[in-house]
Amino acid sequence: MSDAYAVIGNPIGHTKSPLIHGLFAEATGQDMVYTAIEGRIGQFAADMDKFRAAGGRGMNVTAPFKLDAFACATEHSQRAQMAGAVNALRFDGERVIAENFDGVGLARDVVHNLGHPLKGKRVLVLGAGGAARGALLPFLAEGPAGLVIANRTVSTAEALAEAASAHGRVVACGYSDLEGLEFDLVFNATSASLRGELPPVPATVFAPGALAYDLAYGKGLTPFLRLAQQAGTKQLADGVGMLVEQAAEAFAWWRGVRPDTRAVIDLLTVPLV
């Protein structure tokens, strides 16, 4: 019988994970099946246990269950602890091992796929929610010159900066404090693009040669990316590479082999127009 994996979320009809992992399995010769599960709100633990009891080996976890998965896990990686959220689980007997590959997938996409190193660079992260939390440790591991978190509620950004302070220098601020500052990499980790909205960031934050990266994917030229483009920024990217790279990290964690990601990223890329 093939090893069973799944992604769980609600809603889940839009997910690309079965396609991605199916392509990875085919390319690496892994005997596995990967399905999508629409989890029941308030019943995550029961749905997870049902999948485990049927022989499931691991799960990806997407909205709105990343906090539920954290609560259900018996062991957490440092990245999962920092994020306070989980996007991958591995089942080993009674052990439920939790990881968060969102941030490491994002960092790998930026550094390896886009050729934009973070080392020595000025980095701005917009938003202080789960996406930003997941990105901090992988970003700081790359050795940026400085990392700033801007958020509407400054106290939330300050708490996140304090939590990450042992791993590098992180500064928290409000959006109005960004006036007059420039950054080499600007990441939109807010949910604004999902609503077709623009976070209140000044157009002057983009330094010459900057990369503007929207963690949302498949939305085309979002208001954030359009702002960057109008400010003269030529390097624009959405989160499709992050999606594929975090999937590859989970696949390697489960199967012991890391698939090549280039062809899958190319397949899923939507033009930024």
Structure confidence by residue, pLDDT tens digits, 61-99 = 998 999 999 999 999 999 999 889 899 999 999 999 999
Tell me: the pLDDT tens digits for 135-163? 999 999 999 999 999 999 999 999 999 99
Question: Between 36 and 219, where is the model more confident?
Answer: 36
Check whether 131 is labelled as a binding-site residue: yes
Check whether 232 is labelled as a binding-site residue: no
Identify which of 42, 47, 46 has the alpha carbon closest to the alpha carbon of residue 8. Answer: 47
Check the CA dihedral 208-110-192-162 and report its sign. negative
Q: For position 130, what pLDDT does the model report?
A: 85
Q: For position 70, what pLDDT does the model report?
A: 96
Is residue 50 flagged as an active site residue? no
Check whether 220 is labelled as a binding-site residue: no
Instruction: Work out the burial of residue 164: count CB atoms within 10 Å of its CB; fewer than 13 is exposed, 13-18 middle, 19 or more buried.
Output: buried
Q: Please list the alpha-helical segments (H only) found in the chain.
A: 17-28, 44-53, 66-72, 78-83, 102-108, 130-141, 154-164, 223-230, 240-255, 262-268
Tell me: the pLDDT tens digits for 242-268? 999 999 999 999 999 999 999 999 999
Q: Is the pLDDT of residue 273 over 90?
A: no
Instruction: Work out the burial of residue 148: count CB atoms within 10 Å of its CB; fewer than 13 is exposed, 13-18 middle, 19 or more buried.
Output: buried
Catalytic residue among 66, 119, 121, 219: 66
Percent of the chain with pLDDT over 90: 90
Check whether 209 is labelled as a binding-site residue: no
- Residues 207, 211, 130, 20: what is their CA dihedral angle, to the nearest 10 degrees? 180
Check whether 113 is labelled as a binding-site residue: no
Write down the pTM of the prediction.
0.94
Q: Which domains does the chain have, with CATH numbers?
A: 3-100 (3.40.50.10860), 103-240 (3.40.50.720)
